[in-house]
Amino acid sequence: MKQKIPYKIYLLEDEIPRQWYNVRADMKNKPAPLINPANGKPLTADDLAPIFCADLNKQELDNDTPYFDIPDEVLTFYKMYRPSPLVRAYFLEKALDTPAKIYYKFEGNNTSGSHKLNSAIAQAYYAKKQGLKGVTTETGAGQWGTALSMACAYFHLDCKVFMVKCSYEQKPFRREVMRTYGASVTPSPSLTTKVGQKILSEHPDTGGSLGCAISEAVETAVTHEGYRYVLGSVLNQVLLHQTVIGLETQKALQKYDIHPDIIIGCAGGGSNLGGLVSPFIGEMLRGEANYRVIAVEPASCPSFTRGKFAYDYCDTGMICPLAKMYTLGSQFIPSPSHAGGLRFHGMSPILSQLYHDGYIEARAVEQTSVFDAAEYFARVEGTLPAPESSHAIRVAIDEALRCKETGEAKTIVFGLTGTGYFDLTAYEQYNNHTMTDVIPSDATIAESLAKLPKVGNE
């Protein structure tokens, strides 16, 4: 007889995975290498050394090693907030009256409010190990900056966050969490960098952009002795660290002999989706199992469903390396009316390759329908979800309702990446019925894609 499945499946502390899984080792078609825009050649560890930490560069470029040991210091920190629960959504199933069995892996029970901490602590650890003084980064919505601030406080590293100026002003609470953890938070563009000075002299009233904040963070890292730049998504190393999500999910499912049919994650740069699904796709790549894996992206920024698989800059400022990925073009600007943090024009090169090879399907959803799902979920499951996470909720509910129609008792697993406590301006818009859906026209996307760089694509 099967055990009764509890509302929340908690692994024991010593069941936290001791290694991260590198899905690239099982991929026949490896993700294309990063390219140096200066010479059009694949980037080497030496090229990356002035910008990123040495150990992280190794992880970034390694397509072959299947597992990387999680350092003891990182494992200890993980015990602060991990294992995270795999929740059986009994309340949601009952409310939907569906035969589907729904589970979600909840990564929001830590003060940074999201899964971002899984990689932040690893990146801070390697920076500390290398004897660095500190790290720099940019943040838009603020989840990554918050996570990095917590990680740096733990390792007594300095943390310089460049926060897009309009976010700095509109999200003072996110800023204060970072400051409470000892980070210095600078509105970007700022007078502290040359690129910031230049932009301010040309556009004194600008609210800033993620592209500009990246440029300032990178400039600060390379011009300050003992600093490196760190990034919270897109990179292979970030997906590697985030596999702790999927590995824990696998272990929790195995404990109760649960076999998922559908695995769903929201997709911006790919850090959460990649972390959740990599171990499952690994099984598919090795021919051990088969799953439907669904990436959910915003209809306002649909890189998988309407983008092109090509080399492109990772940043709007066009100073970062080129990556081969599904992209809308680095000059694509998602509608400012979109509330979620899934506004990146591109997608993780690993996930892009897997999508290209048919291991992932993708779906684009409109934000009003995402907030319908978010509010419904909050009321029946009790947790106020982040707008990003709610993209996955939307599709999980849609799939569960499909099961209700067909009578199939499918098992659905989705990633609930975080909480929405700092996203209440968006909820307010939704509550006041002033939230709108803005979907880019074909012409807008074509215009942006016409500006793709030649390097790598010829």
Residues that bind its own copies (CB under 8 A): 6-8, 10, 12-13, 79-81, 91, 109-111, 113, 150, 153-154, 172-173, 176-177, 179-182, 375, 378-384, 419, 421-422, 424, 427-428, 430-431
Q: How far is the CB of 96 from its own copies (least distance, A)?
A: 15
Which is closer to its own copies, CB of 44 or CB of 436? 436
Which is closer to its own copies, CB of 12 or CB of 450? 12
Within 10 angstroms of residue 40's Cβ, the number of other Cβ atoms is 14
Which is closer to its own copies, CB of 91 or CB of 256? 91
Say how far apart CA 387 and CA 396 lie, in whole Å: 14
Say how far apart CA 368 and CA 438 lie, in whole Å: 10
Question: Which tokens go with 354?
Answer: 């897997």
Q: How far is the CB of 80 from its own copies (least distance, A)?
A: 4
Which is nearest to 366 in space by CA: 264, 296, 447? 296
Which is nearest to 414 in space by CA: 6, 113, 88? 88
Q: How far is the CB of 5 from its own copies (least distance, A)?
A: 10
Please give the single-letter amino acid code of residue 318.
Answer: M
Q: How far is the CB of 113 from its own copies (least distance, A)?
A: 8
Q: Residues of 1-35 as b/e, b for ≥16 C-beta within 10 angstroms?
A: eeeebeeebebeeeebbeebbbbbeebeeebbbbb
Which is closer to its own copies, CB of 10 or CB of 309? 10
Q: How far is the CB of 35 from its own copies (least distance, A)?
A: 38
Q: How far is the CB of 256 from its own copies (least distance, A)?
A: 13
Which is closer to its own copies, CB of 86 or CB of 314? 86
Q: Is the peptide bond before 189 cis (omega within 30 degrees of 0)?
A: yes
Which is closer to its own copies, CB of 201 or CB of 431? 431
Q: How far is the CB of 372 from its own copies (least distance, A)?
A: 12
Q: How far is the CB of 436 from its own copies (least distance, A)?
A: 18
Which is closer to its own copies, CB of 47 or CB of 375? 375
Q: How far is the CB of 413 from its own copies (least distance, A)?
A: 19
Within 10 angstroms of residue 226's Cβ, the number of other Cβ atoms is 14
Q: Is residue 297 within 8 Å of 266, Cβ to Cβ?
A: yes
Which is nearest to 453 in space by CA: 350, 324, 347, 344? 324
Which is closer to its own copies, CB of 90 or CB of 309? 90
Which is closer to its own copies, CB of 88 or CB of 345? 88
Question: Which tokens go with 232?
Answer: 């919270």
Q: What is the largest CA-CA distance in the chain?
A: 71
- Report the Cα 158 to chain-centroid distance in Å: 23
Q: How far is the CB of 118 from its own copies (least distance, A)?
A: 13
Say how far apart CA 68 and CA 87 lie, in whole Å: 27
Q: How far is the CB of 45 from its own copies (least distance, A)?
A: 32
| E-only strand ranges, 189-329 | 227-229, 262-266, 292-298, 308-313, 322-327
Q: DSSP readout, 254-283?
A: HHTT---SEEEEE-SSSHHHHHHHHHHHHH
**Torsion on CA atoms 265, 266, 269, 271, rounded to nearest 10:** -40
Which is closer to its own copies, CB of 87 or CB of 328? 87
Which is closer to its own copies, CB of 155 or CB of 304? 155
Say how far apart CA 434 and CA 173 lie, in whole Å: 23
